Amino acid sequence: MARIVMKFGGTSMAGIERIRRVAQIVKRQADAGHEVAVVVSAMAGDTDRLVNFCREASSLYDPAEYDVVVASGEQVTSGLLAIALQSLGARARSWLGWQMPIRTVSSHSKARIETIDAAELTASMESGEIAIIPGFQGISENGRITTLGRGGSDTSAVAIAAAVKADRCDIYTDVDGVYTTDPRIVTRARKLKTVTFEEMLELASVGAKVLQTRSVGLAMKENVRIQVLSSFNGDDAPCADDLPGTMIVSESEMEKNDMERQLITGIAHDKNECKVTLTRVPDKPGAVASIFEPLAEAAINVDMIVQNVGREKGETDVTFTTPASDLDRTMQILEKARDQIGYNRILSDTNVAKISVVGVGMKSHAGVASTMFKALAERGVNIQAITTSEIKVSVLIEADYAELALRVLHTAYGLDAEETV
């Protein structure tokens, strides 16, 4: 017997038929003797619809009232799931954010969970009742409803799992796990048995979107074991207790359980970056600061930075990347600061992709980066910028080569599955 938090996303909850399926999956876990709490999202598309209502009502809406509106999607699905479970003969009840309560800071529409009082919830789970909790919502210190930011139900689930000291937090979604790379591009991508929290953070932030990044950070801090698995398998689907999905765990647990893992865990791609180059920047102290200070003040994230070796006359070119959505603002800010920085020309390029190889194995092995550079060179792929961290190497290349690069690197690091998926 274990204590399990199960989380179902919007596509799993979209409509009564699907909610009935979810009820069956939940009941099966309860019937296996586990104590079960379930965190649910709103039906797919509902939160978007509610957000649009607020915008229509007034472009300058009050964020506190926005939260009242958008939190309602999860109230509906939690009640419906409790009804569906009751009709299967299970004991179930919903626990709204204010009832538990889930206390958050009062920054409406992007609140952070501070504490969860899980005493009553735990007692109810111990008595064999299934607890259904609407994700995404909480209550502020002055008693008003709050929401956690889009995609926040993942964070709710991890926070509940930490609060009730669950053995596992199963996140049911429309994919059946985390893959070595995007299986729509690389048919030989493999589903991973385990990924560490750190790796998942890197993979999530570089474009492999399975979980809200914040939820992974919280799971790492609270050491909540997460399983990512599909809610769309048939009745003969393997039991969640056999861990058919991908487990996201601490590095020490991963080392114990997955001796045969590869040096590289996964390869991510991100086409939402753009490249900016300033030419003939003075090669002197303070020059680089004068570029990046105004960008930081405007909260523009800069990722890769390359400063080329000086030209003649003490000048240098500086290249960096930002999210493509920030390109216009970036150009505007730099044009305004032109005299202060003292560059000659400003060039931008959106036809780039960032490819990142991620793996904790890198910490103890040399040669990961050179394998990457060699494999790309052999296929004539030019590298425009490079960044590294302890467990990641990223390169910027021409966007048209992104798919080729993923395939080539997947093979170069020995990640290809025997059979295609």
Sites of contact with Mg ion (CB under 5 A): 9, 151
CB of 47 to ligand ASP, least distance (A): 3
CB of 11 to Mg ion, least distance (A): 9
188 lines the binding site for ligand ASP (CB under 6 A): no
Q: Select the binding partner of residue 245 from Mg ion, ligand ASP, none (C-beta < 5 to 8 A, by kind).
A: none
> Which residue's CB is nearer to ligand ASP, number 67 or number 154?
154
Give the H or E element holding residue 146. Answer: strand 145-147
Query: What is the pairing mode between strands 102-104 and 113-116?
Result: antiparallel
Instruction: Compute how many residues bind ligand ASP; rule: CB under 6 A.
Output: 12
> Which residue's CB is nearer to ligand ASP, number 151 or number 359?
151
Q: Select the binding partner of residue 138 from Mg ion, ligand ASP, none (C-beta < 5 to 8 A, by kind).
A: none
152 lines the binding site for ligand ASP (CB under 6 A): yes
CB of 70 to ligand ASP, least distance (A): 7
Interaction residues for ligand ASP, span 20-49 (CB under 6 A): 41-42, 47
Q: Select the binding partner of residue 47 from Mg ion, ligand ASP, none (C-beta < 5 to 8 A, by kind).
A: ligand ASP
Smallest CA-to-CA distance from 67 within 154, 147, 149 is with 147
Interaction residues for ligand ASP, span 111-150 (CB under 6 A): 135-136, 150
**Both tokens of residue 265?**
């865990």
From residue 384, alpha-carbon distances to 3, 300, 333, 397 in Å are 49, 21, 23, 6
Instruction: Evaluate the omega torsion of the peptide bond into residue 101 and state whether it is cis, within 30 degrees of 0.
Output: yes
Which residues sit opposite 346 in a β-bridge? 278
> Which residue's CB is nearer to Mg ion, number 151 or number 245?
151
CB of 48 to Mg ion, least distance (A): 12
CB neighbour list of residue 378: distance below 8 Å, 6 or more residues apart: 408
> Which residue's CB is nearer to Mg ion, number 9 or number 73?
9
- Binding mask of the shown chain, residues 3 to 22, with x at each position contacting ligand ASP by CB under 6 A: -------x------------
CB of 284 to Mg ion, least distance (A): 48
Interaction residues for ligand ASP, span 196-225 (CB under 6 A): none
- Is residue 194 within 8 A of residue 258, CB to CB? The reply is yes
> Which residue's CB is nearer to Mg ion, number 162 or number 171?
171
Which residues sit opposite 268 in a β-bridge? 356
- Is residue 180 within 8 A of residue 190, CB to CB? The reply is yes
Q: Select the binding partner of residue 136 from Mg ion, ligand ASP, none (C-beta < 5 to 8 A, by kind).
A: ligand ASP
CB of 202 to ligand ASP, least distance (A): 21
- Cα–Cα dist 244/227, whole Å: 9
CB of 143 to Mg ion, least distance (A): 28
3-state secondary structure 34-74: CEEEEEECCCCCHHHHHHHHHHHHCCCCCHHHHHHHHCHHH
Dihedrals phi, psi of 163, to nearest 5 degrees: -65, -35
CB of 156 to ligand ASP, least distance (A): 8
CB of 219 to Mg ion, least distance (A): 15
Q: Select the binding partner of residue 359 from ligand ASP, Mg ion, none (C-beta < 5 to 8 A, by kind).
A: none
> Which residue's CB is nearer to ligand ASP, number 77 or number 196?
77
Q: Select the binding partner of residue 170 from Mg ion, ligand ASP, none (C-beta < 5 to 8 A, by kind).
A: none
- Cα–Cα dist 21/148, whole Å: 27
Dihedrals phi, psi of 63, to nearest 5 degrees: -60, -30
- Cα–Cα dist 83/92, whole Å: 8
Binds ligand ASP (CB under 6 A): choice among 97, 134, 138, 151: 151
- Binding mask of the shown chain, residues 61 to 80, with x at each position contacting ligand ASP by CB under 6 A: ------------x-------
The number of residues in the chain equals: 421
97 lines the binding site for ligand ASP (CB under 6 A): no
By the 10 Å C-beta count (0-12 exposed, 13-18 middle, 19+ buried), 291 is classed as buried
- Please identify which residue in the block is written with the tokens 């048995």: 193
Instruction: Evaluate the omega torsion of the peptide bond into residue 134 and state whether it is cis, within 30 degrees of 0.
Output: no
> Could you give the angle at the alpha carbon of 175 between the alpha carbons of 28 and 43, nearest 5°?
70
91: helix, strand or coil: coil
Q: Select the binding partner of residue 73 from ligand ASP, Mg ion, none (C-beta < 5 to 8 A, by kind).
A: ligand ASP
Interaction residues for ligand ASP, span 245-304 (CB under 6 A): none
Binding residues for ligand ASP, rule: CB under 6 A, are: 10, 41-42, 47, 73, 135-136, 150-154
